[in-house]
Amino acid sequence: MNKYYNGEVLSGFKDALPIAIGYIPIALAFGIISKANQISLWDCFLFSLFVFAGASQFMAVNLIAATVPAFQIILTTAVMNLRHFLMSASLADIIKSPRKKLIPLVAFGITDETFSVLATKNKELSFFYTLTVNTTAYFSWVLGSVAGYLLGSVLPEAIQSSMQIALYAMFIAILVPSMKKSKEVIFLALLSGGIHAFLNISHLIPEDWNLILSITLAALIGLMILPKEEGGVNP
Amino acid sequence: MKSYFFIILGMAVVTFIPRLLPFIFISKKEIHPTLKRFLNYIPYATLGALILPGVFNAIPNQPKAVWAGIVTAVFLSWWKGNIILSVLASVGISFLMIQYF
């Protein structure tokens, strides 16, 4: 029994390492930008501790600095993070349901990055594995934010810059092996990325909606075009 | 310094709700096959939209480092299929490009 838990925790930690590597430079930058915009260390800490959503935290600090009303900042956050609804829905089915009380614990840790790691394992995930992936990512995010605030640019600039490629490299490394196995994955990913690029360039709709609309549209078009047989994207 | 506790609290609530609700409402037994297929497509659609077009501006003003990083990640993940190796090598190559080219 104990051995089982250790194994799940260890493999969760290993799978979350690329996320932690990718989060650290961004979290440091969040701490630094918080300080630069006269946000207290305590609030910077609470942002990362309670919100745990990188893009909206940066947005919030920028809007606070521009004295945008709180209501509008919260509304923008709501729109930006609506996409997690799709991600949690996609995961709800593959995480072995723990006791009901523990579900919020898992749900809290769903980010673009944890989702990308979890959803592409193509197997049912144990509660402990999932929680370890999320918690590892979470700790690197919270600790990184505080470290950035307190220590400033601890990493030499060239290292800090080059680490910004890390999360993209992780997304690529998760996606490419699936693309190798399935033409449908190639179709969905390129379609979704293409729609996203188009929306970014065309400014057709308010920017906050671009990501969720791209994902939804691509999956819907996939429903209409791709063949129905079972396991098409999960060979 | 001003406290932004209420903004943080509001943001926490609106971020947590969409993360939580599907876990409560989606039960394994009663998923319609079409919905199931849609949900199976979400991870790959998400990855596509997370990578494109953002990756091209991953490191501002360093297009050479970015391209070197992308090529490294694609090549290594195709060839080795190892995520952590791809990430570390991609960061390493980008670093070398920034430092020396």
Instruction: Please write the tens of the pLDDT for every residue from A10-55.
Output: 999 999 999 999 999 999 999 999 999 999 999 999 999 999 999 9
Tell me if B100 sits within 8 A of A34, measured CB to CB: no
Mean pLDDT estimate for chain A: 94
Residue found under tokens 């089915």? A93
Q: Is residue A235 within 8 angstroms of chain B, CB to CB?
A: no
Give the end-to-end CA distance of chain B in Å, rounded to a whole number.
43
Residue of B2, B19, B59 for testing the chain A interface, max A β-carbons within 10 Å = B19
**Among the listed residues A126, A112, A148, the one whose alpha carbon sits nearest the alpha carbon of residue A18:** A112
SS3 A125: strand
Tell me if A136 sits within 8 A of A17, measured CB to CB: yes
**pLDDT at position A72:** 97
Model pLDDT for residues B5-60, shown as the tens digit of each residue:
999 999 999 999 999 999 998 876 678 989 999 999 999 999 999 999 999 999 99
Tally of residues, chain B = 101
- Who wins on pLDDT, B27 or A147? A147
Strand partners, A125: A95
CB contact under 8 A, B39 and A89: yes
Residue A27 and residue A146: Cα distance in Å, rounded? 8
Residue of A165, A182, A210 for testing the chain B interface, max B β-carbons within 10 Å = A165
CA distances in angstroms from A72 to A37, A62, A66, A67, B4, listed in the order given: 18, 13, 12, 11, 14
**pLDDT at position A228:** 82
Q: Summarize the confidence of residues A198-221 as an average pLDDT.
A: 96
Residue B86 and residue A217: Cα distance in Å, rounded? 30
**pLDDT at position A129:** 95
- Give the closest-approach CA distance of B85 to chain A in angstroms: 9
Q: Which residues of A, range 19-58, sit inside 8 Å of B by Cβ?
A: 21-22, 38-40, 43, 46-47, 50-53, 56-57
Q: A60: which 2 tokens?
A: 């919030």
Model pLDDT for residues A44-101, shown as the tens digit of each residue:
999 999 999 999 999 999 999 999 999 999 999 999 999 999 999 999 988 886 677 8
Tell me if A141 sits within 8 A of A112, measured CB to CB: no
Strand partners, A95: A125
